[in-house]
Each structure stands twice: as structure tokens, then as C-alpha cells.
A and B are shown apart, each in its own frame.
Chain A
Amino acid sequence: MNEILLSNEVIVYLLAETVLYLLLFIAFLVTLGLLKRWNFDAFTSEQFQLENRSYLVMTIILFVMLLKILLLPYFVYTIDRLSDLVPGAMCAAGVIKANAYGNPLLSLKIVILFLSGLWLSINRLDLGAKNYPYMKLKSWFFIVVFLFLSAEFILDILYFTHIETTNPVSCCSVIFGQTGGANGLPLGLDIPKLLILFYLLFALVVLTLLSDLLLLSLPATLFFAVIAYYAVVYFFGTYIYELPTHQCPFCMLQDHYYYVGYLLWGLLLFGVFFAIDAAVMQKIFKQPAETLKRNALLLLSLFVLLCSAYVAGYYFKNGVLL
């Protein structure tokens, strides 16, 4: 067994994922039964048993999904810690590239974070009603999420069992090599255009959320999330590291930078999620979404402020920009 699987963080992570997956697998089997026999209008013993069982199984799913959300930052922390074991890796950026499974796994985890959040919102609606109106919908949605979770579990195993501690990875040689950062940017953008787009999209997201144009806010928020990622990696991140050639999404998660990456990425992910959730709840479920919109505005504004504060702070301290 290699050193990776013997590290404390990986043992805890894989153990937690395995236990949670087993719980989800049981919930999946029960949910299939619920979908087959559920009839709320019946007053039979079988239906009462299904309702009791559904309450139990939905509580299990709720518990697991909340833990899965907490496990995402722990996963990032784990791979960051593994950089000590993987030659060439200075942070999680190198470790995630240690094999072909890393990046798909991280992307899948972010997709699952959003899907789990949506499931939790639908579940809250269902529990808030007296007659389980979304029971079937949330069960079908869980089945879909479970397929993603199964893929994630398989990728988790494949990823951690295929990290070689003998082959050097190309962590910083690639990331540091992109001076100016323009090479890595999409759509032929350069840094000034990227920043203009970043702030314009943020303004668009704020306006669409405030003016209830939620169908427009959905694509605007998703586009903002993509542009914000590049803006942080290729511009704002360099002010966190105070080094223009250091363009890494992961180093800011380390203690040298006071773990600010967790806050920064957390604000972005949860801000984007609340904006999407607001659109889904209001447009599809016809539910009031004022709190969700307020949360999205607050988190995304804090994200933009925090990014901008690093640039402003650097300028006030040194009198120049990087």
C-alpha cells in the first residue's frame, strides 16, 4: 500500500466517504421502493409505513448531504497536505494533477455541491408543506444525485489509489511559467478585459437579482462564476501572494495566506449557489426567494470586496500595482 493511502487525512477522508456512501446506498434502495408504491391519498397501513420510512430516509439524506458539503473543503485540505508527499507539488494544484482523475473529481464535487444544495432546498419546501407535495420529485432528484455521488465515490477511490509518490508532478512549472497570465485565459481575454468583464458581470448579477430578472440572473451568475475563477487565479490571487507570477487557485488555501482561499472560494461557491437557488425556487417552484437573493447578494458582494481589497491594500501599502 502506498504512502498516500496511509496518510491520516486520506484515511479519514476515505473512511468518511465510504460510510456516507453506504448510508446513501441504503437510502437509494429505500427511495426506489418509495417511488414504486407511494400514494399519498391512500390511508392504508402500507402508505403509513412508507411515510414513516420516507421521513427516516430523507433525514438520512439530509444528514449525508450536509456532511458532503463540509467534506468538500476537507477534500481540498487533504490534497493540499499530500503536497508534502508528491514530488514536485507545492500545493494542492500539483496533487490534483497527479493523475487523470483529479480534475474531473474536483469538478464533480462542485457539481454535487450545487445539486445537493438544490435537493436540500426542495426537501425544505416538502417538509414545510402538510402533504409531501414534492416527495416524488425530490426522490427522483435524489436518484439523479446518487448517480453523480456514485461516480464521485468511484473517482475518489481511483484518484487516491493512483497518486504516485515516485513520479514528479508539474505543479509550479506550468503555473509559474505563465507570466502575465494571458495565456491561460479563455475567449482571448487579457487581464484588463477580464477585470472589466468581472466587474460588469457582478453588476449584472446584482441588478438582475434586485430587479427580479431571475431567468437572466441564472446565466449571468454562471458566467460570473467562470470569469471570477479566472480573475482570482490570474489577477486577484497575485495580490494575495504578492507575486505577479504566482497564479495558483490552491496556494491561498495554505496557512501562509491565512487560509483565505477557503473564505474566498466559499463566498463565490455559496453566493453562486444562492443565486441559482433563488432563480429555481422562484421560477420553478413559485416560492418567495427574498432570503436566497439577499444571501446571494451578500456573499457575492463580500467576495468582490475581498478580491478588490487585496489589490487596494497592496496599492496603498506599496504605491504601485503588480
Chain B
Amino acid sequence: MVILEKVSKVYNEGTTQAFEALKEIDLHIAGGETVVLSGVSGSGKSTLLSLIAALDKPSSGKIEVGGELISKLPDIHASAYRAKRIGIIFQHFNLLEALNVEENVIVPLINSGLKTEEIRQKAAKSMEMAAISHKASQQVNALSGGEKQRCAIARALVHDPELILCDEPTANLDRANSLKFIEILRSLHHMGKTVVVATHDPLFEGLPFVDRVIHMEDGRIVEPAGAAPSADLTEES
């Protein structure tokens, strides 16, 4: 599903402030896998996600997603790739505050060519999956942090993407909401979605449905490991 070969990313390349955020990363993620990228802030997790999402381009190396070479996609195709294949959940939710929940969820489908009724049906299904249907007509700026996150999840799922990328999804959530988020992740995993979560939240370590936890440090993968079974998270959530 996702293949990275010798991927490096240098910010401010060619200047005295050059910073190597990723160093020759090799990574293969199979379809349907749920992978957690862990590591401290600045270890390169978010950069890696942004490259997989084609939000940025690597300085060198090859990235393929679903057989499509995306490391060299021109911007116009990168947008189409994201709109079709990727769902992204951001740490700060990145919602449009002036719109209500349903309108936010509909945004990725604006240029889809679907009829209004189809779009509404997809939005309703997605909001239900993210347990935010009851707030559909609520303005986003009146939502709690957890509700905003569920709205962002609904938006990320509305176009039925193959790959879901989550960048520090629980950084702005309390424990209860974080556990709810993990529950949704579990559902996505069972639906066969490929999920990559970049986080330094210890809650994600040892989850039973997580196939791999990959530790990153200083722009490198230092420890790709299988997940250990969780203790009592399922009961807690």
C-alpha cells in the first residue's frame, strides 16, 4: 500500500539553516495495516505523514501509495490524489469554524461531481461512523475538543479513502475523548482501512489492533516493532 525507499527531507536546503528532518527512510506498509509512528516531537513523524499525503515533496527518494508514484506528483495531481485516496486527521482539527459540522464534513466532496443527495447521504454515513450525527447542524466553534475531533474524523472518512493519516490526533483531547478516538480507529482497522498514526501519546502503545509501532528518532526509524496486546483499554473505552 505505502512504500518508501530512501526517503530524505531537508528543510531550507542549501542554506545555513538546512535541517534534515528525514534521513533515508525505508518503510513498507501493507494494505489494511494499522501502524503507529511514535517518537518525540521533532523526530520526523509529521514530516513523514506530510510526504505520504503529498502535502510536501521529499528532497530525495521514492514514495508509492497504492502503486502510484507520489513523490514527484505535480501539485495539481497531488490535490486530486489526496481528494481521492487520502483522509487526514490533524492535531488542530483544521475545521472551518464558520460552517456547521455537516458542511465541514461535505467540504472534501465539493468537487466530486456527485449529486447533492448523494453527498448528503455520504456525509450522514460518515458522521454516524464518527458518532457526531447528533451535532450535524451545530456550528463548529461551539463544539468541544472531542466533538471537533470527531467532526474531523467524519470529514476524513467522507470520501471513503483507502489510507487514513492521523497527525497527533489526541494531542488536544482529554483521556476520555482520546479513548473514544482509539475506538473509532479500531473500527477503521476492522473495516480494512490502512491507518498511519503519528503520535507520542503512550495510549497508542500496546493497542491490540495496532499491527506495528514504529519508533522514530532524529529523522530515522530506530525500532520497527510489532504491537504488544493491550491491558485494559477496551474496557476503559
Which residues of A come within 8 Å of B, CB atoms?
Answer: 40, 43-45, 47-49, 51-52, 55, 127-128, 130-132
Contacts and interface: CB of A to CB of B under 8 A. Distances in A.
Contact of B61 (A40, A43, A49): A43
B54 to A, nearest CB: 11
A45 B76 contact: no
Contacts of B60: 43-45, 47-48
B74 A43 contact: no
Contacts of A44: 60
Most chain A CB neighbours (cut-off 10 Å) among B10, B71, B74: B74
Contacts of A131: 72
Contacts of A132: 74
Most chain B CB neighbours (cut-off 10 Å) among A43, A51, A52: A43
B61 A127 contact: no
Contact of A130 (B5, B13, B77): B77
Given A45-B59, A48-B59, A130 B74 contact: yes
Contacts of A128: 76
A85 B72 CA distance: 56
B175 interface: no
A130 B77 CA distance: 7
Nearest to A130: B77
Contacts of B72: 40, 48, 51, 130-131
B48 to A, nearest CB: 16
A130 B69 CA distance: 9
Contacts of B62: 43
A48 B6 contact: no
B44 interface: no
B73 A130 contact: yes
Given A44-B60, A45-B59, A49-B13, A55 B6 contact: no
A48 B74 contact: no
Nearest to B61: A43
B5 to A, nearest CB: 8
Contacts of B57: 48, 51-52
B87 interface: no
17 contacts: A43-B5, A43-B61, A43-B62, A43-B71, A44-B60, A45-B8, A45-B13, A45-B59, A48-B57, A48-B59, A49-B59, A52-B57, A128-B76, A130-B73, A130-B77, A131-B72, A132-B74
Given A45-B60, A130-B74, 20 more contacts: A40-B72, A43-B60, A45-B8, A45-B13, A45-B59, A47-B60, A48-B58, A48-B59, A48-B60, A48-B72, A49-B59, A51-B57, A51-B72, A127-B76, A128-B76, A130-B69, A130-B72, A130-B73, A130-B77, A131-B72
A127 B6 contact: no
Contacts of B71: 43
Nearest to A47: B60
Nearest to A42: B60
Contact of A43 (B6, B75, B76): B6
Interface in B4-25: 5-6, 8, 10, 13
A313 to B, nearest CB: 46
A48 B69 CA distance: 14
Contacts of B10: 45
